[in-house]
Amino acid sequence: PNPAPPTVSRRGALWFVGSGSLLLFVTTAGQNFDGVLRRTALLAPHGGGEPASGPGGFQINKTAAYAGIDPGETSEEAWRLVVVGRAGRTVRLGRAELLRLPLHSSALPIACVEGWSTSDQWWRGVRLRDLAALVGYEDAPPDVFVESLQRHGAFRRAALRANQVADPRSLLALFVNGEDLSPDHGYPARVIVPAAPGVLNTKWVARLTFGDL
Ligand SMILES: Nc1nc2c(c(=O)[nH]1)N[C@H]1C(S)=C(S)[C@@H](COP(=O)(O)O)O[C@H]1N2
Ligand SMILES: [Mo]
């Protein structure tokens, strides 16, 4: 029966709603366009690179160029995966050595919290739990800390839990859809794990440190 005096005028309320809608419009409309305009879509999927066609033709979060990956450091001669395990046990593996380990396949999507996901892609590589076994965790694999060749940016490292490492579908992938990973999808090696946000699928992997985190 005794409402408090209004704290906002009718005009104020209309202005607030109107400018809020306009702000949403300008921060999402860019997703409908290509090129520079697309990057203005701060609140909508704006992608990093446009998917090409062929085996690597699915969405890309950050391209190799954006992440500052120098093709010289991903070559067969230069690149070594460093795997650290129990009591500091360390092995270094080139791509050729990884290919001599048992290879397995997983059909898994990438689901990015930025608002897109792919259909299942056919990944092939070495099981994370097999890599844990190489450095002293033969039975129950522990957590793993994954680091990329990428030097800057929040996505250059990720931690995976023991249950994710133990999952037989979790791979250090070397191939996707029957071909070598493309540079933008993480060549020479990237993590792929089931039922996790895309950000855990670290690309251009350089180092895996197994041990409870
Ligand atoms: N090193 C590195 N790995 C990364 C990223 C990154 O920026 N740098 N982006 C992550 C995010 S947010 C997603 S969704 C996936 C996307 O993988 P894709 O680009 O191969 O589709 O990679 C993840 N791995
Ligand atoms: Mo993502």
Yes or no: say if 41 and 27 are a contact pair by the CB < 8 Å rule.
Answer: yes
Kindly report, residue by residue over 146-200, the tens digit of the pLDDT. Answer: 999 999 999 999 999 999 999 999 999 999 999 999 999 999 999 999 999 999 9
Task: Indicate whether residue 123 lines ligand 1 (CB < 6 A).
Answer: no
Three-state DSSP class for 136?
coil
pLDDT at position 130 over 70:
yes
The answer to whether 142 and 133 have CB atoms below 8 angstroms apart is: no
* Positive or negative torsion for Cα 118, 123, 125, 131: positive
CB of residue 156 inside a 6 A radius of ligand 1: yes
Q: Which helix (H) or strand (E) holds 210?
A: strand 205-210
Maximum average pLDDT range among 26-30, 53-57, 162-166: 162-166
Q: What is the model's pLDDT at position 40? A: 77
Give residue 178's pLDDT. Answer: 97
Kindly report the protein residue whose alpha carbon is nearest to atom 19 of ligand 1: 60
- Is a pLDDT exceeding 70 seen at residue 133? yes
